[in-house]
């Protein structure tokens, strides 16, 4: 098992900040944290509840978990997963749905029981969209909350599909439940490439797990890779918590001790020297 190469590990505003040597090392660092939780659950025969993310960033993390399952026999039989978000409306069977993404990158390649993998259903009728999200929150609560939440950051600072909402206070935003949201123009523009470059084909809405559940996770691992994230990473880590940059809420004093940011050098390139 390859150990990731770490360039810098510091405490910053109460959270842990790791700059890995490369994007691959950043993915390995995140994968090792997840593997630790999965292995511990398997050893003790207890449930591990993981909040999972989609997008480009987690792909190498899932590839490493799949490799570890294959080569080192780590088992997901005690794991329960809850995905962060899903486009709305979209069929779970749509090749571009996050359900399909998760099936392709992880679920179909490990021994996770199919009934333990939860993704918000982008095909519920509009009148039930918020209710379906409320059920998701209740399932997560009934499972005892999340042992780990894996996060990526959007170029506008979103976590899940919790887009910036500058009109809300930090306290109000942090308490938001899972719900149907309208996607930000930045988010839709960034997603257009996946939809054949056609902005009109990108769903206008999404279902997202809310900050209340995300910020309550017992461990939160945020991974950001590449120079396109450098500016927003610097804002999220150096500005005081603001609903203009939802990821900045990871600095909240009651949250930060449970948070690890994992960056590659490009994503860290606009951070002031934090040592
Ligand atoms: P990405 O998306 O991993 O595709 O960059 C991250 C996000 O928008 O949360």
User: Is ligand 1 within 6 A of the CB of residue 152?
Assistant: yes
User: Is ligand 1 within 6 A of the CB of residue 153?
Assistant: yes
Q: So what's the pLDDT on residue 275?
A: 53
Site of tokens 């004093």:
253
- Report yes or no: 234 and 270 within 8 Å, Cβ to Cβ: yes
User: Is ligand 1 within 6 A of the CB of residue 232?
Assistant: no
Options 64, 85, 86, 190, the catalytic residue: 85
Q: So what's the pLDDT on residue 86?
A: 98
CA-based torsion, 212, 159, 237, 15: positive or negative = positive
What is the CATH number that goes with domain 7-263?
A: 3.40.50.1360
* Eight-class DSSP state of 30: H
- Report yes or no: 248 and 153 within 8 Å, Cβ to Cβ: no
Distance 234 CA to ligand 1 centre (A): 16
Nearest residue to 222 via CA among 246, 206, 195: 246
Q: Whose CA is nearest to atom 8 of ligand 1?
A: 154
- 127: number of Cβ within 10 Å: 7
Helix (H) or strand (E) holding 266, with range, is: none
Residue ranges covered by each domain of the chain: 7-263
Q: Is 158 a catalytic residue?
A: yes
What does the alpha-carbon distance between residue 143 and residue 73 come to, in Å, rounded to a whole number?
Answer: 25
User: Is ligand 1 within 6 A of the CB of residue 57?
Assistant: yes
Q: So what's the pLDDT on residue 2?
A: 84
Q: DSSP string of 215-242?
A: HT-SSEEEEE-SGGGHHHHHHHHHSPPB
Q: So what's the pLDDT on residue 273?
A: 80
pLDDT, one tens digit for every residue, the chain (275 residues): 789 999 999 999 999 999 999 999 999 999 999 999 999 999 999 999 999 999 999 999 999 999 999 999 999 999 999 999 999 999 999 999 999 999 999 999 999 999 999 999 999 999 999 999 999 999 999 999 999 999 999 999 999 999 999 999 999 999 999 999 999 999 999 999 999 999 999 999 999 999 999 999 999 999 999 999 999 999 999 999 999 999 999 999 999 999 999 999 999 999 988 65
Q: Which ligand 1 atom is the nearest neighbour of the CA of 155? A: 8
The CA distances from residue 20 to 29, 72, 160, 190, 220, in Å, are 8, 23, 23, 25, 17
Nearest residue to 237 via CA among 57, 8, 14, 7: 14
Q: Which ligand 1 atom is the nearest neighbour of the CA of 55? A: 4
């Amino acid at each position: 098992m390859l150990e990731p190469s770490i360039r810098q590990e510091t405490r910053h505003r109460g959270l842990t900040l790791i700059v890995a040597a490369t994007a691959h090392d950043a993915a390995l660092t995140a994968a090792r944290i997840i593997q630790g939780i999965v292995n511990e659950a398997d050893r003790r025969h207890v449930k591990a509840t993981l909040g999972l993310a989609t997008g480009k960033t987690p792909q190498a993390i899932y590839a490493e978990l799949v490799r570890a399952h294959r080569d080192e026999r780590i088992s997901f039989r005690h794991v329960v997963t809850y995905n962060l978000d899903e486009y709305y409306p979209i069929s779970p069977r749509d090749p571009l749905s996050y359900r399909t993404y998760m099936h392709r990158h992880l679920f179909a390649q490990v021994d996770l029981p199919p009934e333990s993998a939860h993704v918000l259903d982008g095909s519920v009728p509009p009148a039930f969209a918020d209710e379906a999200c409320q059920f998701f929150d209740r399932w997560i609560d009934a499972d005892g909350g999340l042992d780990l939440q894996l996060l990526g950051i959007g170029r506008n600072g979103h976590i899940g599909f919790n887009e910036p909402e500058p009109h809300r206070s930090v306290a109000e935003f942090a308490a938001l439940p899972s719900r149907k949201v309208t996607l930000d123009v930045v988010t839709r523009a960034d997603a257009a490439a996946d939809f054949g470059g056609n902005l009109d084909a990108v769903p206008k809405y999404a279902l997202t797990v809310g900050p209340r559940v995300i910020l309550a996770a017992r461990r939160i691992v945020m991974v950001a890779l590449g120079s396109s994230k450098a500016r927003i990473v610097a804002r999220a880590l150096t500005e005081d918590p603001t609903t203009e940059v939802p990821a900045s809420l990871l600095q909240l004093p009651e949250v930060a001790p449970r948070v690890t940011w994992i960056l590659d050098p490009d994503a860290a390139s606009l951070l002031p020297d934090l040592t």
